[in-house]
Amino acid sequence: MMAGLITNGYFLVPKRIKELNAAGLDFLQISIDNVEPDDVSKKSLRVLDRKLQDLKSYAAFDVNINSVLGGGIKNPEDARTINNRARELGFSTSIGIIHDGSGRLKPLGRHRTQGLRRSVGGHQRAASGVPEPLLGHSQLQDNLADGKPNDWRCRAGARYLYICEDGLVHYCSQQRGYPGTPLEAYTVDDIRREFATPKSCAPYCTVGCVHRVSTMDFWREPQGEWVK
């Protein structure tokens, strides 16, 4: 079992980073949307670069910097700049395709698809150490960039648990409320049920961390009605 933290990075200071070390955090991911803040996103490299330097100095856990491409992202070349800076600091990198409020695909246009291809040229494996199917030249990535569905078995709620700030288990950051069970009440039966439960959002899902941890189960049991 690995413990990861997804954060916007705003509150990362040396003291908090050291506390995360002591807590046994395995990896941390920050998504950076652009080089300079704009009216779409303030999660910019300029705002967060000081935080990245502190992570370089103090973090005992793996750090992954995720950049995004897609609707609302004005300059696709920013992803390459962000990745280069992350690698300069010794962090792993990943690139995601922006999704809507339900975590589903917003397909890239030609210009942004070209930006994706250029940016993944220097990609490093994501910090979790699990294979990254959304990057490189995989069919998953190509389908997402072209706005096509993927046929895969999402194991969210089983292999992957997303715990929100209220201590509730959800499928992922984009599917809050499902199942919405407190972590301390989440049982093996819950894990088995969600392992077998097909997710209607899966064909157009762009949530890379769930894709990664589900990769090892792609050839395993099909999903359908779970029988206790």
**Residue 205 or 192, more confident:** 192
Question: Angle formed by the axes of helices 110-119 and 78-88, to 10°?
Answer: 10
pLDDT, tens digit (0-9, with 9 covering 90-100), for 169-195: 999 988 999 999 999 999 999 999 999
Nearest Cα to 99, choosing from 147, 59, 155?
147
Quote the pLDDT of residue 173.
86
Every domain of the chain and the residues it spans: 4-131, 156-190
142 token code pair: 């190509």
**Is 4-131 CATH 3.80.30?**
yes
Nearest Cα to 212, choosing from 43, 4, 33?
4
Give the chain's count of helices (H) and strands (E).
7, 7
pLDDT, tens digit (0-9, with 9 covering 90-100), for 8-45: 999 999 999 999 999 999 999 998 988 888 877 788 99
Quote the pLDDT of residue 52.
97
pTM, entire model = 0.73
pLDDT, tens digit (0-9, with 9 covering 90-100), for 65-99: 988 765 555 677 788 899 999 999 999 988 776 65
Cα 185 to its chain centre, rounded Å, is 25
| CB 215 within 8 Å of CB 133 | yes
Q: How far is it, in rounded angstroms, from Cα 154 to Cα 211?
A: 7
Asked if the model's pLDDT at residue 213 lies above 50, the reply is: yes
CA angle at 191 for the pair 189 and 193, rounded to the nearest 5°: 70
How far, in Å, are 10, 58, 95, 166, 228 from residue 171 at the CA level? 25, 31, 21, 14, 20
- Residue 46: its H or E element: helix 45-58
